[in-house]
Amino acid sequence: MATLKDFRNNIKPNWCPGCGDFSVQAAIQRAAANVGLEPEQLAVVSGIGCSGRISGYINAYGFHGVHGRSLPIAQGLKMANRELTVVAAGGDGDGFAIGMGHTVHAIRRNINITYIVMDNQIYGLTKGQTSPRSAEGFKTKSTPSGSIESALSPLEVALAAGATFIAQSFSSNLKQLTTLIEEGMKHEGFSFINVFSPCVTFNKVNTYEWFKEHIVDLEETPDYDASNRVAAMTKIMETNSLVTGLIYQDKSRKSYENMVYGFKPEALAKQNIQLSEQEFDKL
Ligand code: SF4
Ligand code: MG
């Protein structure tokens, strides 16, 4: 059985020392080992951005896609090879700006994959511009007088789009992050995990200290019911989207691929797909 070290390769990440993305990489590797995967059973698909490099740093199948397009690739991969555990990963710019159309529709489609967003509330790779997650008033080279747009709440959007699994965590909390990724991998449907992953080089506002001060962890609310959609929206809004933990899970809905006519769990390549005309008409 594979262990954590089997998911490590010898490529040294070129992230800045202290970047939150290191923890996300470690959490994916730990979660994969903990749920009992072998490296050849995991595929990591990433977008463009500092965080997009993650697919090259994990010993598994990796696909570094184009900007904002990790989800179409990941969904196609899962539909073609249902035996794989598929993780899509990227940044807030990648997923909530150029890729937002894909994000919303992948959420409501509910294909059984896990989507992890490394949310640093800035564009890091291009040296620090305002992102859809930057707060109002946030000053960068692209908004020198402060952003006059309101920040997007990905949790509210995900819930409104019909997500069946929504979680949020923080790079400093490796234990929680690993557990949530494990839960996401085991969830039968699309699991969305937003991770506060500080950019230590360009975001001098949303730092590790800032998050520690502002995060509201669901552990503080022991009677919280993650199956209650209204309670989830209330909690997200009450905390200004700074809540961490498993926020919402609907275990009753089947994943997309399970509802496809003639679904079989094996990879398509292993199926002898030769439909008669009548069968084809039924599709
Ligand atoms: Fe991480 Fe920011 Fe450095 Fe990019 S620029 S590697 S996001 S710390
Ligand atoms: Mg970013």
CA distance 162 to 142: 33
- Return the residue whose CA atom lies nearest to atom 6 of ligand 1: 15
Report yes or no: 169 and 244 within 8 Å, Cβ to Cβ: yes
Report yes or no: 45 and 79 within 8 Å, Cβ to Cβ: no
Residue of 202, 205, 206 with the most ligand 1 atoms within 8 Å of its CB, for mutation: 202
Which pLDDT score, from 0 to 100, does residue 263 have? 85
Distance (Å) from CA 56 to ligand 1 centroid:
16
CATH of the domain at 263: 3.40.50.970
- Return the residue whose CA atom lies nearest to atom 3 of ligand 1: 16
283 pLDDT tier (thresholds 50, 70, 90): low
CA distance 3 to 29: 9
Tokens describing residue 167: 């979680």
Region at 128 (left for phi over 0; alpha for psi -120 to 50; beta for the rest):
left
DSSP 58: B
Distance (Å) from CA 161 to ligand 2 centroid:
22
Torsion from C-alpha of 6, 208, 169, 130, nearest 10 degrees: -100
DSSP string, 198-219: --TTT-SSS-HHHHHHH-EEGG
Q: How many domains, in total, are found in the chain?
A: 1
Tokens describing residue 229: 């959609």
> What digits encode the pLDDT tens for the residues 26-38?
999 999 999 999 9
DSSP 112: S
DSSP 166: E
> What digits encode the pLDDT tens for the residues 184-213?
999 999 999 999 999 999 999 999 999 999
49 Cα nearest atom in ligand 1? 4
**Span 246-270, mean pLDDT?**
91
Tokens describing residue 210: 């800032």
List ligand 1's pocket residues with C-beta within 6 A. 15-16, 19, 21, 50, 120, 124-125, 199-202
ipTM of the complex: 0.98
176 CB neighbour count, 10 Å cutoff: 20
- Return the residue whose CA atom lies nearest to atom 1 of ligand 1: 19
Question: Residue 78 — φ and ψ, nearest 5°?
Answer: -65, -40
> What digits encode the pLDDT tens for the residues 124-158?
999 999 999 999 999 999 999 999 999 999 999 99
Ligand nearest to the CA of 93: 2
Question: Which residue type, as a one-letter code, is found at position 253?
Answer: R
203 Cα nearest atom in ligand 1? 2
Distance (Å) from CA 130 to ligand 1 centroid:
14
Q: Which domain holds residue 58?
A: 4-282
